[in-house]
Structure 1
Amino acid sequence: MSAVDDAVEVLNQANIAGIDDIYGNNLPQEAIDSTDKTVVLITDAANDPASFGNNDFWSLNQEIETQIWYSQTLDSDPETIEVSMMKSFTHQNWQVAAVRQRMLDPISKQLMNTFYFSRTKILKETF
């Protein structure tokens, strides 16, 4: 599976209170238009070959970008959601690569934040 698919699965399985919808790669129009749900979008940030030897590589250094837009009617602390999200990834052998500061989305007027998570994926197949 791709890093995005794996990351979406991590968050779906975590079932974090306060996150309403999780999407990989793009948002459907209804999610873009909605300001009453907390929505997460996961996209690829890097997918670099690593562990070279014998004219080949054996792993991928992968990084994903995770953006979260909070519902305008959120009744919980965003930090609680963010810490739960970071713990969900670290418990599945991802590293927190970067966390940006919360800001107000200028279009939707929703509070938002961006995170980067990374992992090294060992390739088992030979191509």
Structure 2
Amino acid sequence: MSAVDDAVTLLSNANINGVGAVYGNNLPQEELDSTDKTIVLVTDAANDPAAYGDNDFWALNQEVEVQIWHSQQLDSDPETIEVAMMKAFTHQHWQVAAVRQRTLDPDTQQLFNTFYFSRTKNI
């Protein structure tokens, strides 16, 4: 499975309270203007060969970008959702590579944040 598929499955199975939907690679057309639920989008950020030897490699350094648009009707602290998401990844042997600051999406007026998670996958 790809890193995106694994990350989408991980987040979907985590059942994080407040997350309405998790998607990989693309948001469906009907979700583009959705502001009434928290939406997460996972995309590839890196997929580099690693662990070289004997003219071959046997691992991939993978990184995913996770974007989260918080619902305009969010009735809890966005940090609660974000920490739960970070814990879901770290409990499955991913590392938090970077966390960006929350900003306001100019189009939807939703709080928006971007995270990067990485792992080394033996192949």
Compute the TM-score of the two structures, normalised by the length of structure 2: 0.99
Structure 2: tracts of 5 or more residues without a match: none
Structure 1 equivalent of residue 88 of structure 2 = 88
Partner SS, residue 32 of structure 2? helix
- CA distance in structure 1 between the partners assigned to 2:68 and 2:15 by the alignment: 15
Structure 2 equivalent of residue 58 of structure 1 = 58
Aligned-CA RMSD value: 0.4
Q: Deviations over 1:6-41 (max 9, x none)?
A: 000110110000000000000011111111110000
Q: CA deviation at 1:103?
A: 0.3
- CA distance in structure 1 between the partners assigned to 2:99 and 2:6 by the alignment: 20
Structure 2 residue 8 is the aligned partner of structure 1 residue 4 = no
- CA distance in structure 2 between the partners assigned to 1:108 and 1:118 by the alignment: 29
Structure 2 equivalent of residue 78 of structure 1 = 78
- CA distance in structure 1 between the partners assigned to 2:85 and 2:122 by the alignment: 23
- CA distance in structure 1 between the partners assigned to 2:34 and 2:12 by the alignment: 20
Partner SS, residue 65 of structure 2? strand
Runs of 4+ off more than 6 Å: none
Structure 2 equivalent of residue 112 of structure 1 = 112
Alignment of 1:36-55 (within 5 A): 36-55=36-55
Compute the TM-score of the two structures, normalised by the length of structure 1: 0.96
Q: CA deviation at 1:64?
A: 0.1
- CA distance in structure 2 between the partners assigned to 1:74 and 1:82 by the alignment: 13
Q: Percent identity?
A: 75
- CA distance in structure 2 between the partners assigned to 1:122 and 1:79 by the alignment: 32
- CA distance in structure 2 between the partners assigned to 1:54 and 1:64 by the alignment: 29
Structure 2 residue 9 is the aligned partner of structure 1 residue 22 = no
